[in-house]
Chains A and B, each alone.
Chain A
Amino acid sequence: MTNRTSLYQHHLDAGAKMVDFSGWEMPINYGSQIEEHTQVRTAAGVFDVSHMTVVDVSGVDAEAYLQRLLANDVARLDEIGRALYSGMLNDDGGVIDDLIVYRMSFGYRLVVNCATRVKDLRWMALQTTGYAVSVEERPGLGILAIHGPESIERVCQILNDCGREGESEAAAIRALGNFRGVELGDWFVARTGYTGEKGLEVILPAEQAPQLWEALLTGGVKPIGLGARDTLRLEAGMNLYGHDMDETVSPLSANMGFSIAWEPSKRDFVGRAALIAQRAELEAGRLPILTGIVLEERGVLREGQTLTCRDADGIEIGQGVVTSGTFSPTLKHSIALARVPTYTASCDVDLRSKATPVRMVKPNFVRFGKKVFE
């Protein structure tokens, strides 16, 4: 069965090319993916990401439950509205999903991937044993992500058109720091993005999404498809679940080390024991790492391409694989994330049966519209 968001007709009206995305009919682009990409880097665009799964966690043990469930520590969320990125791991330390968790007045809100919805909910339910906690999916909520250098101002300007308390809500939104959110009646507005630009996520009752969408488009914000969402996140060096990591991959092999809260050492989160062993493997050079690579000549790096990797002495030490690759519309050449042996110092990619040298860089290519790697 195919699911549709409350904006389905609005997508068609905007000229969207619709594709199946994990059982949802979603817009891949509205004409040109590259123009949409540039729109977000230079002005403001809106994404319908209502297919993503919202899960609310409440109850007296909500904090303790999430401290067990997640590799990052929700105790770091010392104020209502703060947000955290985390992996949700299995006992082997593999990544079941990556997610954002917000601290809310009622407890916590998680936003997880749509492609992993069923297994995520099953896993979360399984882990509730022994905790006084309620884990509730919120299918009635929609999410609009508005991103780009002009995005926050554009949203603030159209609040009155959506029947909101324009002035006070705009002040609250403008005051938000990065990875902070605020509950505004039945809306939750947060600055947690997936593009490398300033931006807002608005989580709201799905039936209100069309009014916000229309007001944004009238206010000059352009609709952006999931195609540009992918090139924007890759330029920002951000992972995509199912591509850059999955249940067979350690978060330490997926640049997710920053999201593992090792301290306090007595916090026994799912996967901790396996991660400790993986950390020793990494230090011994036996765990592959995720790196950024760039191809500055003609050609496009694509997921699945093989890399031949060499150490600092030029000795071949094994193969790597491109986990996400694309043409970067901002840089005008190809960029990718690739998993390679630990001590890789240089590599060639098999580009249509031709060994082509690529450059290894930190996996962060574009921030705020500008190139960020050396």
Chain B
Amino acid sequence: MSTIPDNCKFATSHEWVRIDEDGIATVGISDHAQDALGDIVFVDLPEVGATIHAKDEVAVVESVKAASDVYSPVSGEIVEINEELLDAPETVNSVPYDGGWFFKIRLEDAAELDELLDAEAYAEHCEGE
């Protein structure tokens, strides 16, 4: 299992968020999450332009094992989605923190990031599950 990147923040529901530039954040699911789900066969993504709130269900991941909701760790407007996942959902299994990202969002309130876990706290959270 790969290490948990320390430039990301994490939700307890296993999504990661990384600030890129200018208040735009990238969101995906953690390595721990993809490992627990097993082979991912479909990913449903939100629509570009949608305004969402933190903890909203914004995407669905279907694996060989189960369907699972993905929650947005932060509020804002969806500005880009990773359309490659529609044809190659297995990318989430192979590179969850890189090519396996789900969507980019224009942050509404950067203070929401303070409520999320850092890499160390997230590692502890996974241990405790």
Identify which of B8-16, B21-29, B59-67, B95-103 touches chain A.
Answer: B59-67
Q: Check B62–A33 contact: CB distance below 8 A.
A: no
Cβ of A70 to closest chain B Cβ, rounded Å: 34
Q: How far is the CA of A8 from the CA of B74 in the complex (A)?
A: 44
Q: Check B41–A300 contact: CB distance below 8 A.
A: yes
Number of interface residues of A (CB under 8 A): 13
Cβ of B36 to closest chain A Cβ, rounded Å: 10
A352, CB-defined interface residue at 8 Å: yes
Q: How far is the CA of A298 from the CA of B62 in the complex (A)?
A: 10
Chain A, Cβ-Cβ closest to B43: A298
Interchain CB contact (< 8 A) of B64 among A34, A298, A299, A352: A34
Q: Check B38–A29 contact: CB distance below 8 A.
A: yes
Cβ of A33 to closest chain B Cβ, rounded Å: 5
Q: Check B64–A231 contact: CB distance below 8 A.
A: yes
Enumerate chain B residues within 8 angstroms of A29, measured Cβ to Cβ.
Answer: 38
Enumerate chain B residues within 8 angstroms of A302, measured Cβ to Cβ.
Answer: 66-67
Q: Check B42–A33 contact: CB distance below 8 A.
A: no
B108, CB-defined interface residue at 8 Å: no
A178, CB-defined interface residue at 8 Å: no
Interface string of A279-295 (1 = CB under 8 A from B): 00000000000000000
Enumerate chain A residues within 8 angstroms of B66, measured Cβ to Cβ.
Answer: 302
A227, CB-defined interface residue at 8 Å: yes
Interface string of A181-195 (1 = CB under 8 A from B): 000000000000000
Chain B, Cβ-Cβ closest to A302: B67
Interchain CB contact (< 8 A) of A300 among B38, B62, B90, B93: B62
Interface string of B31-43 (1 = CB under 8 A from A): 0000000110110
Interface string of A313-341 (1 = CB under 8 A from B): 00000000000001100000000000000
Q: Check A227–B67 contact: CB distance below 8 A.
A: no
Enumerate chain B residues within 8 angstroms of A32, measured Cβ to Cβ.
Answer: 39, 93
Q: Check B39–A34 contact: CB distance below 8 A.
A: yes
Chain B, Cβ-Cβ closest to A230: B64
Q: How far is the CA of A29 from the CA of B64 in the complex (A)?
A: 11
- The contact sample of 24 A-B pairs, CB cut-off 8 A, is A29-B38, A32-B39, A32-B93, A33-B38, A33-B39, A33-B64, A34-B41, A34-B64, A34-B90, A227-B38, A227-B64, A227-B65, A231-B64, A299-B62, A300-B41, A300-B42, A300-B67, A302-B67, A326-B64, A327-B41, A327-B42, A327-B62, A327-B64, A352-B60
Known contacts A33-B39, A34-B64, then 15 further A-B pairs from the complex at CB < 8 Å, ordered by chain A residue: A32-B93, A33-B38, A34-B39, A34-B90, A227-B38, A227-B64, A231-B64, A300-B41, A300-B67, A302-B66, A326-B64, A327-B41, A327-B42, A327-B64, A352-B60
Query: Which 3 residue pairs across A and B have the least CB separation, nearest first?
Result: A327-B41, A34-B39, A300-B62
